[in-house]
């Protein structure tokens, strides 16, 4: 199972690494560009917020640039798509297509099987995020951009916790629905809702409290790269994941499987 | 070995819209009781949608019965499903594999999940040779029949005490159907308990000791193959010399199902002597017995129980 999903993770991570290589490659030119400094200075904070810049600084700072570009919308989209589709493929797709009948015809319990699938999801996410981080470090050393490794490691753990949470509720929907497309629809809709709330919370200071209602709002890459230690958020996201994985186990352990 | 006691599982039909229709629109299985003793081969016959696969899903612990219970070797199929599955080899009715794998990778994966005993590999290679399947081929490139062979290899390589085979010859060509029947008969001689679900009669007729006929979720009857064969209606095609002979035979009180010129079809239920007595009085040009298989006996049983 990991062999199949791992290949997908490796392909996505390689694609992201090349994308980041491109972004980091143009950073020295951007940071020296006066026009870019002026442009980023004139952008309202709400707009910068949408692009992942949270401390009011310009896009010409490397931390702002990395958080807005390397861990920005494209990265979120690829990671979100990978996480949701993998969670869907690990249970709902196998049940819907009938291949789960072979796995469950063996003397392996349903919870044991679910634990294996969670392991596949976790290792895939670790591979994706690990390769993204290693890629960024490698590319930064390639272009002689000095960085502190600690904050990047903390960000990696926080992003891992975030996507584990996305994977956990996606697994929950995957275990709950009979049809694969229903599971996928619910997972994607909830993720989009979280994203929309995160964007909405940045539009105006009056709505900043909305940030706490969405797990995407719990992850502010630039704050972490600037030195914040987000242990409480990491613990909260792991707790969130544990709840949904437990619920997925309760449902999958007892549901009728028409396979 | 296999004990099904009053198993009921009802699903409201999705198509039912009014309340009145809802009461009628229920599908599933209702109050099914049957026993398969150790070493016996049992056939579960019925048309598509009759409830055969639903009953098998209960035996595999995939679904929980609304009422009743299913046991294999004294173990509850729902509560003790893990222990049950260590005794059972299962061939699903739908051949949906992991398309990205090769046949060999799939069998290695499943061997590992079943405890990876050395005999699995030995049996796998012998079965692949007998069924003429190249295991290194990617599953996504396999035809339906090849996938069916792969499923059969999976089910038989495990050397389990109980075989549950859902529509096992679906998609196989006649030659491979024959090989499959030989394989099942070999398993039977080793004392294995076999349950075969099918709507294809020859495989059940040739392999099973008893047959359960299932229709609209209910087990209509369980009979020995011999009894069904005896009860079956035999049809004879007789061509006589002239119309006078035809008239003479017609007066013997036989059931003539069709007549074209001097050619008659006579149906006999049970005792054949009235036909022989009648034939002794006429000049016969041609006499043939129409081959009747379990299918006709099955149809006869259905008709006897109120028609289909």
Residue to test with chain B: of A107, A110, A178, A253, most B Cβ within 10 A = A107
Q: Which residues of chain A neighbour B90 with C-beta distances below 8 Å?
A: 101, 105
What's the confidence (pLDDT) of residue B171? 86
CA distances from A84 to A187, A242, A244, B4 (A): 6, 17, 14, 40
- What does A120-141 look like in DSSP terms, one character per residue? HHHHHHHHHHHHHHHHHHHHHH
Q: CB of B58 within 8 Å of any CB in chain A?
A: no
Put simply, the answer to whether A108 touches B57 (Cβ < 8 Å) is no
Q: Is the pLDDT assigned to residue A61 strictly greater than 70?
A: no
Residue B62 sits at the chain A interface (C-beta within 8 Å): yes
Percent above pLDDT 90 for chain A = 41
Per-residue pLDDT at A9? 80
Contact between A143 and A24 under an 8 Å Cβ cutoff? The reply is yes
With an 8 Å Cβ cutoff, is A115 touching chain B? no
Q: Which of A99, A105, A256 sits opposite B98 (nearest CB)?
A: A99
CA A88 to chain CA centroid, Å, is 16
Q: How many CB atoms lie within 10 A of CB A156?
A: 19
Nearest 5°: CA angle at B85, between B80 and B89? 155
Mutate to test the interface with B, among A106, A108, A116, A117 (most CBs of B within 10 A): A106
Residue A62: its pLDDT value, please? 67
Residues 6+ apart with CB under 8 A from B226: none
Total residues found in chain A within this entry = 259
pLDDT band, very low/low/confident/very high, at A253 (cuts 50, 70, 90): very high
Residues 6 or more apart in contact with residue B233 via CB below 8 angstroms: B267, B268, B269, B292, B296, B297, B300
Residue B131 parent element (H or E)? none
Kindly report the nearest CA distance between residue B258 and chain A, in angstroms.
46
Contact with chain B for residue A10, Cβ under 8 A: no
Write down the pTM of the prediction: 0.79
Measured between alpha carbons, how far is A225 from A198 in angstroms, rounded to an integer? 19
Residue ranges of A 151-170 with Cβ closer than 8 A to chain B: none
Rounded to the nearest angstrom, the minimum Cα separation between A103 and chain B is: 7
Where is B208: in which H helix or E strand?
A: none
Helix, strand or coil, per DSSP, at residue B168: coil
Tell me, what's the pLDDT at A58?
56
Nearest to B289 by CA among B267, B260, B270: B267
3-state secondary structure of B97: coil
Residue A162 makes CB contacts below 8 A (sequence gap 6+) with: A215, A216, A218, A219, A237
Residue B73 forms contact with A (CB below 8 Å): no
Chain A environment of B85 (Cβ under 8 Å): 104-108
Q: What's the Rg (C-alpha) of chain B?
A: 24
Contact A104 B98 (CB under 8 A): no
Parallel/antiparallel/unpaired status of strands B26-36 and B218-224:
unpaired
Q: Which helix (H) or strand (E) holds A61?
A: none
For A206-252, what is each residue's pLDDT tens digit?
888 888 889 988 888 878 888 888 889 999 999 999 999 999 999 99
Is the per-residue pLDDT at A50 higher than 70?
Answer: no
- Supply φ then ψ for residue B126, to 5 degrees: -65, -45
* Residues of chain A with C-beta less than 8 angstroms from the C-beta of B86: 107
Please determine, for residue A10, whether its predicted confidence score (pLDDT) is greater than 90.
Answer: no
A/B interface, count of CB pairs below 8 Å:
61
* Residue to test with chain A: of B77, B98, B152, most A Cβ within 10 A: B98
Give me the tens of pLDDT residue by residue for chain B, a chain 308 residues long.
899 999 999 887 654 444 444 445 557 899 999 999 999 999 998 888 889 999 999 999 999 999 999 999 999 999 999 999 999 999 998 888 888 899 999 999 999 999 888 899 999 999 999 999 999 999 999 999 999 999 999 999 999 999 999 999 888 898 999 999 999 999 999 999 999 998 777 778 889 999 998 888 899 888 888 777 666 667 888 998 888 888 888 888 888 888 888 898 888 876 788 888 888 888 888 998 875 555 566 666 555 554 44
Report the residue count for chain B.
Answer: 308
Whole-number Å distance between alpha carbons of A201 and A193: 12
Query: Chain B contacts of A258, Cβ < 8 Å?
Result: 57, 62-63
C-alpha dihedral, B72 to B77 to B81 to B86, nearest 10°: 20
pLDDT at B41: 94
Query: Which among B64, B97, B114 has the least Cβ separation from residue A106?
Result: B114
Q: How many CA atoms lie within 13 A of B296 on its CB side?
A: 13
* Cβ contacts of B154 on chain A, cutoff 8 Å: 102
- Give pLDDT, residue B308: 40
Query: From CA B226, how far away is CA B210, in angstroms rounded?
Result: 8
Q: Is B113 on the interface with A (CB under 8 A)?
A: yes
Q: Which tokens is A1 given?
A: 């199972």
In b/e form, how buried is each residue of B242-259, taking b as 16+ CB within 10 angstroms? eeebbeebeebebeeeee
Cα–Cα nearest to B294, from B196, B175, B216, B218: B196
Answer whether B104 touches A (CB < 8 Å): no
Of B226, B175, B166, which is closest to residue B197 (Cα–Cα)?
Answer: B166
Token digits of residue A247: 């619920």
Please provide the average confidence, as pLDDT, over all residues in chain A.
Answer: 84
> How much helix, strand and coil, in percent to the nearest 5, is found in chain A?
80, 0, 20
A173 vs B240: CA distance, rounded Å: 73
Asked if B64 and A65 touch (Cβ cutoff 8 Å), the reply is no
Q: Which of A74-78, A166-170, B228-232, B250-254 has the highest mean pLDDT?
A: A166-170
- Give the per-residue pLDDT at B294: 55
């Amino acid at each position: 199972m990991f062999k199949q999903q791992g290949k997908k993770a490796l392909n996505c991570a390689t694609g992201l690494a090349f994308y980041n290589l491109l972004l980091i490659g143009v950073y020295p030119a951007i940071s020296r560009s006066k026009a870019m400094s002026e442009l980023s200075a004139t952008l309202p904070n709400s707009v910068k917020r949408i692009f992942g810049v949270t401390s009011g600084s310009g896009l010409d700072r490397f931390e702002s640039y990395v958080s807005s570009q390397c861990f920005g919308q494209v990265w979120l989209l690829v990671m979100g798509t990978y996480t949701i589709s993998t969670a869907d493929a690990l249970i709902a797709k196998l049940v819907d297509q009938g291949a789960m009948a072979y796995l469950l015809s063996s003397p392996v319990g349903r919870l044991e099987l679910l634990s294996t699938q969670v392991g596949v999801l976790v290792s895939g996410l670790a591979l994706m995020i690990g390769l993204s981080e290693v890629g960024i470090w490698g590319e930064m050393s390639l272009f002689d951009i000095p960085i502190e490794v600690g904050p990047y490691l903390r960000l990696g753990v926080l992003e891992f916790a975030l996507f584990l949470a996305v994977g956990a509720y996606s697994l929950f929907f995957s275990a709950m629905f009979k049809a694969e497309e229903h599971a996928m629809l619910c997972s994607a809709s909830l993720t989009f809702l979280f994203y929309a709330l995160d964007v909405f919370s940045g539009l105006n200071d009056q709505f900043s409290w909305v940030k706490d209602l969405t797990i995407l709002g719990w992850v502010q890459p630039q704050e972490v790269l600037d030195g914040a230690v987000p242990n409480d958020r990491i613990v909260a996201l792991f707790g969130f994941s544990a709840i949904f994985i437990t619920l997925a186990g309760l449902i999958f352990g007892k549901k009728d499987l028409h396979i | 070995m296999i004990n099904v006691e009053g198993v009921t599982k009802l699903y409201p039909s999705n198509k039912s819209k009014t309340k009145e229709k809802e009461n009628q629109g229920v599908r599933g299985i209702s109050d099914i009781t049957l026993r398969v003793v150790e070493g016996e081969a049992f056939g579960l016959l019925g048309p598509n949608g009759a409830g055969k696969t639903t009953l098998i899903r209960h035996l595999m612990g995939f679904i929980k019965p609304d009422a009743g219970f299913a046991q294999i070797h004294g173990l509850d199929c729902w509560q003790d499903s893990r222990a049950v599955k260590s005794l059972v080899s299962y061939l699903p009715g739908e051949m949906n594999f992991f398309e990205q794998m090769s046949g060999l990778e799939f069998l290695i994966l499943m061997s590992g999940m079943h405890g990876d005993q050395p005999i699995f590999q030995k049996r796998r290679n012998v079965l692949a040779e007998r069924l003429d399947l190249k295991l290194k081929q990617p599953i996504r490139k396999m035809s339906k029949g090849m996938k069916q062979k792969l499923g059969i290899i999976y089910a038989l390589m495990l050397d389990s005490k109980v075989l549950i085979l859902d529509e096992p010859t679906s998609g196989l060509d006649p030659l491979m159907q024959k090989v499959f029947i030989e394989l099942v008969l070999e398993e039977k001689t080793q004392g294995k308990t076999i349950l075969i679900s099918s709507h294809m009669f020859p495989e059940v007729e040739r392999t099973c000791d008893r047959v359960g006929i299932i229709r609209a979720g209910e087990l209509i009857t369980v009979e020995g193959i011999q009894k069904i064969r005896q009860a079956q209606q035999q049809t004879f095609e007789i061509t006589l010399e002239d119309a006078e002979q035809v008239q003479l035979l017609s007066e013997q009180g036989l059931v003539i199902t069709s007549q074209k010129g001097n050619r008659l079809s006579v149906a006999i239920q049970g005792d054949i002597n009235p036909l022989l007595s009648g034939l002794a009085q006429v000049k016969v040009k041609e006499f043939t017995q129409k081959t009747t298989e379990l299918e006709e006996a099955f149809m006869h049983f259905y008709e006897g129980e109120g028609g289909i």
